Structure formats: C-alpha cells, structure tokens
Amino acid sequence: MSKRKSKEKSLPLGECISQVQAQLRQRLLQRGRPDRRCGVEAQHKHLVELLKRTVIHGESNSALIIGPRGSGKTMLLRDALEEILTVREIKDNVLQVQLNGLLQTDDRIALKDITRQLNLENVVGERVFGSIAENLSFLLEALKTGDRTSSCPVLFVLDEFDLFAHHKNQTLLYNLFDIAQSAQAPVAVIGLTCRLIHLLNSFTFSDYQEGVKDLLSLAPEFPDPQYSEKWNTNLQVLLENKSVEEVLQKQFNTSKDMRSLHMLLLLVLCRVNGSHPHLSAGDFVEAQRLRSQDSKANILHGLSVLEMCLVIAMKHLQDIYSGEPFNFQMVHNEFQKFVQRKAHSVYNFEKPVVLKAFEHLYQLELIKPMEGLSVRTQKEYRLMKLLLDHSQISEALQKYPNCPTDVRQWAMSSLS
C-alpha cells in the first residue's frame, strides 16, 4: 500500500478513539465477544450435538446448565444456538421460547408467555382449558404439520431454572419434561441456574492472558488501519509488561470469571482519550486500584471533622471496652474529653449538633443498632456497633483532606 493511499484511510485521532471505545465497550459489555471459548469447549460441543438432534433429527432432549454467575452459562448457550442456526433452512423451521424465573413467577404467566412467543394467541382465542397439561399439549399440537419428522421443533430456554422448581406442584416443568420424553413433538428444554456449582472455568493463566488480548485487540476491519496496527502492537508489548502481568495475575487469583475481567478492562478502557490515545501499564494499575478500593474507607474521606472525631471516639471506646457496643452518650462523653484536653473551642459543638452528626453516620451505615433492642429506648442510649476496623480508619486518616494535627494525633493514640 502506497503512503498516499495509507494517508487517505487515516482518520482523525478523536474519531479513532471514538471507534475504539465503541467497539471494545460493546465487546466487554458482552454484546459482542471474541471467538475464544475459555475452558468450556467440551461442554459447547456436547450442547451443540444435543440441540442438533432436536432441530435436525426431531429428537426431544433436555439439559440443565449449572454454574455460578459469570461462569459463562448464557454465553455457552448463545454460542451453541448461533452455531446450529447459521443454516437458514434450520433457522426458519425452529421456534424458540425464552422464559425467566424472575419474570414468569407462576405457571399461568409462563403459559401466557409461551402462547405469545409461539404466536398462537389467535389459535387459542377464548378456549378454556381444564389443566396446564391440556393447554400445553394444545399449543404444541397446533404447531404440527404432519408426523413427528415434519413437526416444528421448539427450543424452551428456562433461565433461573431453580425458581420454576418453586412453582406450585412444579406443573409446568413436569409437563415440559413429560413432552420431551414422549413422541408428541420434538422439543428441547434447556435450563440455566446458578443454584449449584458445576460449570467451572478450567482455563490457565496463559488462556486468561490470551482472553485479554482477544478482548482488547482491534479487528482487521477497523476504519483506520494505521491506528489499529499501532494499537495492537502496543497491546502486545503491554501484555508482556511485568506490572500488567501482576495486575492480571492478581485478578485471576481473585476471580476467574470473565464478567469480573470485563469490568476491570472497562475501567482500563475509560482512560483512553485524545490526549492519551493508547493503553499503558499505569492504566491497568489504576484500574486494579479502583476495583480493590474499600467503599467504607472512601466514605470516611467525605466526612466532616466533627463526624470523623465521633468515629475516632467510637474506635477508642471499642479499644477500651474490648469491642462492646456503645451509645451516643458514651461517644459524646469521649469526644468531650478530647475537647477539654485540647482546650480547643473550635471543637466545642452543642450536643444537638453532635447528635445530628451521629445520626448521619448511622444513615451512611458506618454504625448500626444492636439487634433485638427495643425501639422505645431513647436514641441517645440506643446501643450501636461500629462497622469499621483499625485499618479502614487508619487509611482514611492518611488520605483525609486537611486533617487537623491534634485530631490525627488523638486518632493515632487510640489506634495504637
């Protein structure tokens, strides 16, 4: 390619950044993804074969895909369906019914949705059925165009499958599986649930790194080939960087699920802009820092000096009384000792103001009332528990903006 042609295809840097953000965000948010199926290749092959036996050979089947959230259940099923439905003749002859236990909370609602998704509202009309079994059998019978081999296959996907098992008498599940075992019509019933752990990612750290490369690489059809080439070359070098490898290793050791990785990479991607057009090792380090931040310690950074003093007083009380609960009156007394010792009128707040600050700490869920206590107890004497530990308070004081020296010294004396 001549230099002239290459320049003609170049886009403004801002446009390249917009394209990168659009394409990679779409991929990381799982509306698009690489072809790599990390650790579930065998399960994918088995599921494809099972579905093919239904849509091609008219054989009824059922399967339950079990795994924790983020392990790839939905991705596995979506990939398998895409693979078997690439042939137009098959796609046009297969009906899909998508149900979710969070939405179809009883069998009546589920049957209504099945009717809607199969476009059989006009066929059912005002007909009254004596049972769910009769209703379901009628729906499937309406899809028949002849014998079993010419009947239209139906794929039932039941997400949050365990919630359907809580329906009264499990009538819908009973009838679906009964149909799958009979010769009524070719159906496949696929359930997805995170109730039990079975589908576990078995990929190695090398597979994990390759997954990161796939997720962040720009495709060949990227509008600006020059920028795309620089981006991918920079990414390759970056993934060999020791700091980046340490970040990914820590993430891998913490959680192997791809959804967690996607969230980390989204934070990395957010740092790309016109003045910072390529990823750097610092972006990964900063993203990891943000992911591992302590939310309660961050809340402390926004407290007023009075509220921070009350937190220190509570921690001091816990040290003195070995973690026993406290009430507002005890905290106020401890705070007053500090004020008198330092002889600082700047901290001499009226009691109602201090109580208001105490209640704000409760609203922020930094303290909570002890369970089983009577609500009739005066709020000044209601026993409370601090939901922070030494390390969180220490970290917050180090980063607290313009923290008065005497307050910091008081805190250190109670944290020692």
Domain boundaries of the chain, sorted by first residue: 3-13+214-291, 41-193, 297-415
**Local structure of 196: helix, strand or coil:** coil
Residues 110-139: tens digit of each pLDDT: 888 888 888 887 777 777 676 777 777 777
Check: pTM over 0.75? Answer yes or no: no
In this prediction, residue 365 carries a pLDDT of: 86
- Give the torsion through C-alpha atoms of 44, 45, 51, 52, to 10 deg: 150
For 171, phi then psi, to 5°, come to -60, -45
Q: Are 114 and 97 in contact (CB under 8 A)?
A: yes
Return the minimum-mean-pLDDT range out of 185-189, 330-334, 362-366, 412-416: 412-416
Q: Which fold has domain 297-415?
A: Arc Repressor Mutant, subunit A (1.10.10)
Sign of CA dihedral 64, 65, 69, 74: negative
Please state, as a whole number, how many other Cβ atoms lie within 10 Å of the Cβ of residue 412: 12
Q: Residues 7-41: pLDDT tens digits?
A: 556 788 888 999 899 888 888 876 445 455 666 78
Give the three-class secondary structure for 244.
helix
Task: State the pLDDT at residue 260.
Answer: 85
Superfamily of the domain at 41-193: P-loop containing nucleotide triphosphate hydrolases (3.40.50.300)
pLDDT over 90 (residue 410): no
Is the backbone of residue 36 left (phi > 0), alpha (psi -120 to 50) or beta?
beta
Annotate 329-379 with three-state secondary structure.
HHHHHHHHHHHHHHCCHHHCCCHHHHHHHHHHHHHCCCEEECCCCCCCCCH
Radius of gyration of the chain (CA): 30
Handedness of CA 224, 227, 232, 235 (dihedral sign): negative
